[in-house]
């Protein structure tokens, strides 16, 4: 799929350079015998024609995945220099961007995990984590250059070694937040290998400080279990409730967490100065995902009523959250339409007016500016 997508991008770019006979000929040759090598070469050639590349180019990781690491680094170096960095700083930034790809390539070429790490400029625990996800077929770059398959015994061994090395780096880390991140990375990899003992042992080394904002995946929570997962929250009640809910949902038994779901929803609805409608929507979705459709529908209707009685600073978004919650919970079309009508009524009549500013967790820029 990666080669196909790269091919589309490359061939679509041809129309911008119809006068270049050399490129025309190279396109024709590649079309007759399409390989990752010819597509990578053409992609690099086309990118070289662009006078100004955007700050983040996803194709750089795609080129790295199909073996064009030198070309990928050349493009990233050009971007970093164009942003105003001095040459040496630009080289560091480019090497940091390519570190995980270089580690993966070295391991696939037969290097040991330690050799791959030591020989990779700017390698750190984060690069190891991303490389391990790539080896496991988890597509950390958004698209994989390799066929989907279950990891074989050799790959599992490599990933286990990578988790151990990340653990070692965590123990050397002076910053508690960085140490926490590394330990979670290692535990997540061990959970993917279904090694519950290793994952629990890794998390037992979490520093007392630095856990703020720590997020464990549902997969890891399931592997270590509630008895170990809940105490990791310390004295944070909200964390305990959220952990129990996620464990129940992951097990397909949200009904057992009904009290927790309602307690979490009520706390978000009472939040000052405005309810947190986005997180209330998440609670509805979790109830539905865990199979408690009746609870999900009840909470979705409460979400709509809360949006009516406790309007957000930008009511449009709260009614959109309610509409999405109702749809996920299986409400009929009329109920969903009611919430959408209320959202539409909140749009300003002035076409140049701003509806609102908000946080969008799915946006690459992590921000949202919505206009009517």
Give the number of other Cβ atoms within 10 Å of residue 158's Cβ: 22
What is the predicted pLDDT for the residue at 15?
42
Q: How far is the CA of 132 from the CAs of 96, 101, 203, 212, 283, in angstroms?
A: 16, 10, 19, 25, 31
Longest dimension (CA), the chain: 70
Q: Are 119 and 98 in contact (CB under 8 A)?
A: no
Q: What is the pLDDT of residue 100?
A: 97
3-state secondary structure of 81: helix
Instruction: Find residue 225's DSSP bridge partners.
Output: none
Dihedral sign for Cα 308, 309, 315, 319, please: negative
Phi, psi (degrees; rounded to nearest 5) at 354: -90, 130
- What is the structure's pLDDT at 143? 67
pTM over the 0.85 mark: no
Q: What is the pLDDT of residue 358?
A: 42
Averaged pLDDT, groups of 10, the chain, 372 residues long: 48 45 82 84 76 81 89 92 92 96 96 97 97 92 68 94 98 94 97 95 91 85 90 80 89 90 94 93 93 95 95 87 95 93 80 50 34 30
User: Looking at the DSSP assignment, which residues form a beta bridge with residue 356?
Assistant: 370
SS3 353: coil
């Amino acid at each position: 799929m990666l080669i196909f997508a790269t091919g589309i991008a490359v061939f679509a770019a041809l129309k911008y350079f119809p006068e270049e006979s050399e490129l025309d000929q190279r396109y024709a040759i590649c079309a007759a015998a399409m390989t990752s090598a010819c597509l990578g070469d053409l992609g690099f050639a086309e990118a070289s024609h662009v006078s100004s590349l955007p700050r983040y180019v996803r194709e750089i990781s795609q080129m790295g995945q199909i073996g064009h690491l030198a070309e990928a680094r050349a493009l990233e170096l050009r971007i970093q220099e164009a942003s105003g960095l001095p040459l040496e700083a630009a080289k560091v930034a480019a090497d940091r961007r390519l570190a995980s790809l270089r580690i993966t390539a070295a391991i696939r070429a037969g290097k040991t995990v330690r050799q791959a790490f030591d020989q990779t400029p700017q390698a750190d625990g984060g690069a190891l984590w991303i490389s391990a996800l790539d080896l496991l077929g988890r597509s950390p770059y958004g698209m994989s250059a390799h066929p989907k398959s279950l990891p074989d015994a050799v790959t599992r061994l490599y990933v286990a070694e990578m988790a151990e090395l990340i653990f070692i780096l965590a123990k050397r880390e002076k910053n508690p937040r960085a140490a926490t991140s590394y330990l979670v990375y290692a535990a997540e990899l061990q959970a993917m290998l279904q090694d519950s003992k290793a994952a629990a042992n890794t998390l037992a080394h979490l520093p007392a400080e630095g856990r703020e904002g720590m997020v464990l995946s549902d997969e890891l929570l399931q592997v270590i279990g509630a008895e170990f997962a809940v105490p990791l929250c310390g004295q944070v009640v909200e964390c305990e409730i959220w952990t129990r809910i996620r464990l129940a949902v992951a097990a397909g038994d949200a009904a057992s967490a009904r009290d927790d779901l309602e307690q979490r929803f009520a706390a978000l609805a009472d939040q000052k100065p405005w309810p947190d409608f986005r997180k209330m929507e998440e609670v509805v979705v979790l109830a539905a995902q865990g199979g408690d459709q009746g609870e999900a529908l009840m909470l979705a209707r409460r979400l709509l009523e809360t949006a009516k009685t406790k309007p957000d600073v930008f009511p449009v978004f709260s009614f959109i959250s309610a509409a999405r919650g109702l749809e996920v919970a299986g409400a009929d079309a009329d109920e969903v339409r009611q919430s959408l009508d209320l959202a539409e009524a909140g749009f300003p009549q002035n076409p140049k007016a701003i509806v609102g500013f908000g946080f969008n967790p799915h946006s690459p820029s992590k921000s949202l500016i919505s206009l009517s």
